[in-house]
Amino acid sequence: MAVIGIESSAHTFGVGVVDDGRVLSNEKEMYRIGTTGMIPAKAAEFHVKNSAAVIARAMKNAGVSARDVTGVGYTRGPGIGPCLQVGELSAKAIADELGVDIVPVHHGVCHIEIARVLSGLKNPVVLYVSGGNSQILKRVEEPKPHYHILGETFDVGVGNMLDSFAREINLNPAWGSSVEKTAHGGKYVDLPYTVKGMDFAFTGLLTRATELVATNSKEDLCYSMQEVAYSMLCEATERALLLTKSKELCVAGGVAQSTRLKEMLKNVADEHGMKFGFAGNEYNADNGAMIAFVAERMLKAGMHSRMEECDIEQKYRTDQAVLP
């Protein structure tokens, strides 16, 4: 008995196999963005070329054969249309070939749910931070179980903001992880800080840091940008924790790989005597196991879809996804 999960919302084509909540394998191939940023058609072409091999490797490493598979899940969105389509078509081919149930899932919900369950949290306030998304959420049961969005970015996701700056100053690889490395030893430079209630905005911060590149060191700007952006997230998250009287905090998504962000969030949780949880980085980076993990829970709850209902949704919002 095993469920396959396929992730292809952006640069990663990932396939995971899960059995009763246990991750049996988690394989991926990643399209290298380089200095140009993401070119959707090129990324989708990369996924098409790699899909069969990654699926085969995930099944082999999980030790499962076709007859062990009981269902397949794939990322419906949010993400880049041509990339999402490759995952959708791969999942449909598996469902059709093996005669098993299929279920489309929400990418962000998968990051959140695997982090929440693996860290032993019940109903935390969640900070979901990735390239395209930055949201503060909490599960509610009405009218159907879903993550209610308490606060979110007004413009770009914090990850894309950091990636854009990394490209601006020619870091290699041009990602937030390089900004974090470059930030060591940097000194503080004043940058715009924008929090409105539990919402926040990052474009002004990026614009001002870019203006200051000519007159400041990379180290100082990376340090300051990171401290300002993460302080904004911490302030809004702390407000959400206190307003909801929550006792648990969870961080998930690509930017949850940042050691500095987790350190700052842990301080917030410790100050209020709250539990703080997160998943290992293999589940914060895009991956197929988290898709299989949530797909299995949905299939067990009878939430499979008919093949003709299965589609993709580039702007699939987290609060539109019904939870198992």
The residues binding Fe ion (CB under 5 A) are 130, 286
Peptide linkage before 173 cis (omega within 30 of 0): yes
Residue closer to Fe ion, measured from CB, 130 or 237: 130
d(CA 261, CA 104): 30
Q: Which residues pair with 22 in a beta bridge?
A: 19
The residue type found at 292 is A
Q: How far is the CB of 155 from Fe ion (least distance, A)?
A: 19
Q: How far is the CB of 178 from Fe ion (least distance, A)?
A: 18
Peptide linkage before 143 cis (omega within 30 of 0): yes
Residue closer to Fe ion, measured from CB, 72 or 80: 80
Residue closer to Fe ion, measured from CB, 54 or 69: 54
Residue closer to Fe ion, measured from CB, 123 or 281: 281
Residue closer to Fe ion, measured from CB, 51 or 130: 130
Residue closer to Fe ion, measured from CB, 111 or 218: 111
Q: Is 146 exposed, middle or buried (0-12, 13-18, 19+ CB in 10 A)?
A: buried
Q: How far is the CB of 224 from Fe ion (least distance, A)?
A: 26
Q: How far is the CB of 189 from Fe ion (least distance, A)?
A: 30
Cβ–Cβ contacts within 10 Å for residue 177, how many? 19
Q: How far is the CB of 210 from Fe ion (least distance, A)?
A: 25
Q: How far is the CB of 104 from Fe ion (least distance, A)?
A: 16
Strand stretches in the chain, DSSP E = 2-7, 12-19, 22-30, 69-77, 101-106, 125-129, 134-140, 146-152, 195-196, 199-200, 248-252, 275-278
Residue closer to Fe ion, measured from CB, 38 or 169: 38
Q: How far is the CB of 107 from Fe ion (least distance, A)?
A: 6
Task: Answer yes or no: are the C-beta atoms of 199 and 150 closer than 8 Å.
Answer: no
CB neighbours of 19 closer than 8 A, spacing ≥ 6? 1, 2, 3, 62, 64, 296
Residue closer to Fe ion, measured from CB, 91 or 209: 91
| Paired sense of beta strands 2-7 and 69-77, if any | parallel
Strand stretches in 164-295, DSSP E = 195-196, 199-200, 248-252, 275-278
User: How many alpha carbons fall within 13 Å on the CB side of residue 99?
Assistant: 1
Q: How far is the CB of 172 from Fe ion (least distance, A)?
A: 22
